[in-house]
Chain A
C-alpha cells in the first residue's frame, strides 16, 4: 500500500514537473491516434452510409465482414501488418516498419471496422425522409450526406469516440509494428508495459492516469454534447 502511494506521488511529480520523456510519449501517443482516426473517419462514414442507403450485391456479406473485423485482436492486426511491412514482405521496400507511420496504419486498420459498424448502425436508424427532404430541397448528394450526418450526429460521435478509445489504449499492434523505440515509436500503452516490466511503477501510473483522464474527458464531452439528444416529444 505504501509502495503504491509512493509510486502515485512520484507519478504526479513526474507529470507536473514537465518531465520531457513522459510528455514526449504522451504527445506521440495522441499524435498517432488522432492521425489514425482523422484519416479513417471520412472513409468509414462514407462506406457506412453506402452500406445503409444503397442496395448492391454482397452488401450483407460486407456488413458481416466489418462486424467480424471489429473484434479481431490488435495483436493479429499487428502481426499481419508486420509481415506486410517487414523487409521480405510485399511492402518492405517502403521501410515503414518500426516507424510512427506504421503505427498509424495499424491503428487505422484497428479502428476502421469499428467506425464502419457503429456508423452503419447510426445511418440505418436514420430517417430516410431526412435524405429525401434534403434532395428535394435542392441539396446535392454530398451536401445531403452532411445534412444526414448532422441528423445522426450523436451516434456518429459515439462511433468516433469508441474508435479513438480502441486505438489509444491498444498495445499489441503498436508494439509489433512500432517496436517501442524511445523518442520515435514509444506510446503510452507500450511505455506502461515496459516500465511495469522494469518495476518502475511511477512512470507507468503517471501514463495510466493520463489515459484515465482522457477517457473521463471524452465521456464527459460526449455526455455534455448529447445533453440535448433526448427523445423529442
Chain B
C-alpha cells in the first residue's frame, strides 16, 4: 500500500499530562481512513500536529522521500494538508469570499479565483448561497462551505474532525456525499468520528486511538462486529 506521509514518534503532553505517544502513523494514499477514539483521547490534538498547527514535543516525518523533523516539514504539511475543525470556522464574510480566501493566499488573481469559486459552488451545490453571509448559515451548510473551501486548494490530505457531529439526517447525507466525491477525486482523507456508521460507508481503513497510541483496526470493523452479532442472535 502506498503511503502519502508517515509520522513517527509523535509525543505531546499538555499541562503535564501525556496526551499522545504515537509510535507510527502512516497515512494511506488516496484513501479514506476513519479515526475513532474516546472523548479526550487526543484525536483533535493529533490532527493539529499532523496539519502543522500544533508543535509536538517530538515527531519525525517521512514525506516525499525525505526524512524531516516536524519543524522542517511544517511548511510542506501546511501547504498540502488542511484541517477542518469539528465546527468549521467561517470568516465574517460572504460564502464566495470564504471559499476564495485560500486562493488569494496562494497568489491567485481575482478573475481566476472567481471562476474557480463559481465552479466549486456548483460542485458542492451551494450556488444559491454564494452571496449569503457565512455566519448566517446552518451547521450543515457551514460544513459544506468549509469542505468546498478546502477542496478548492487541491490538498493532498484532508483531516476532518467529527464532520457530521450534531447534524440532522439530511445534512449528514449531503456531507457524506461530498466526502465520497472528495475521495473519488483522489484526495486522502482522515475522518475522526463517533458516528462510525455514517463514515464507514466511505472509509477504507480504520485507526483507533487508545491510551495515546494508534491501533490499526480492521476495515469496516463495526459492520463486521454487527454482522457477527446478528449471526449469534440467529
Residue numbers of A with Cβ under 8 A of B are: 127, 129-130, 132-140, 143, 147, 150-151, 232-233
**Bound Cα distance A138, B79 (Å):** 6
B102 in the interface (beta carbon within 8 A): yes
* Further pairs besides A137-B153, A150-B92, A232-B135: 12, Cβ < 8 Å: A129-B87, A129-B89, A133-B85, A133-B91, A135-B78, A136-B82, A137-B105, A137-B149, A139-B101, A139-B105, A140-B105, A147-B101
Neighbouring A residues of B135 by C-beta, 8 Å: 232
Neighbouring B residues of A133 by C-beta, 8 Å: 85, 88-89, 91
Neighbouring B residues of A132 by C-beta, 8 Å: 48, 53, 83, 85, 89
| Chain B 73-106 interface 0/1 with A at a Cβ cutoff of 8 Å (1 = within) | 0000011011101011101100000000110011
Give the distance to chain B from A151, nearest Cβ to Cβ, in Å: 6
Neighbouring A residues of B36 by C-beta, 8 Å: none
**Bound Cα distance A135, B88 (Å):** 14
Tell me if B89 and A138 are in contact (CB < 8 A): no
**Contacts A136-B53, A138-B153: A151 and B92 contacting too (C-beta < 8 A)?**
yes
17 interchain pairs, CB-CB under 8 A: A127-B89, A129-B87, A129-B88, A130-B91, A132-B53, A132-B85, A133-B88, A135-B52, A136-B78, A137-B82, A137-B101, A137-B149, A138-B106, A147-B91, A147-B101, A232-B135, A232-B136
Indicate the member of A127, A150, A232 with the most B CB atoms within 10 Å. Answer: A232
B21 in the interface (beta carbon within 8 A): no
Give the distance to chain B from A223, nearest Cβ to Cβ, in Å: 18
**Majority secondary structure of chain A interface residues (helix, strand, loop or mixed):** helix
Neighbouring A residues of B101 by C-beta, 8 Å: 134, 137, 139, 147
B193 in the interface (beta carbon within 8 A): no
Give the distance to chain A from B201, nearest Cβ to Cβ, in Å: 26
Tell me if B136 and A138 are in contact (CB < 8 A): no
**Contacts A232-B135, A232-B136: A138 and B105 contacting too (C-beta < 8 A)?**
yes
B175 in the interface (beta carbon within 8 A): no
B148 in the interface (beta carbon within 8 A): no
Tell me if B105 and A130 are in contact (CB < 8 A): no
**Contacts A129-B85, A136-B53, A136-B83: A151 and B105 contacting too (C-beta < 8 A)?**
no
Tell me if B136 and A233 are in contact (CB < 8 A): yes
Give the distance to chain B from A4, nearest Cβ to Cβ, in Å: 48
**Bound Cα distance A111, B150 (Å):** 41
Give the distance to chain A from B161, nearest Cβ to Cβ, in Å: 11
Determine the residue in chain A with the shortest Cβ distance to B105. Answer: A138
Tell me if A138 and B91 are in contact (CB < 8 A): no
B51 in the interface (beta carbon within 8 A): yes
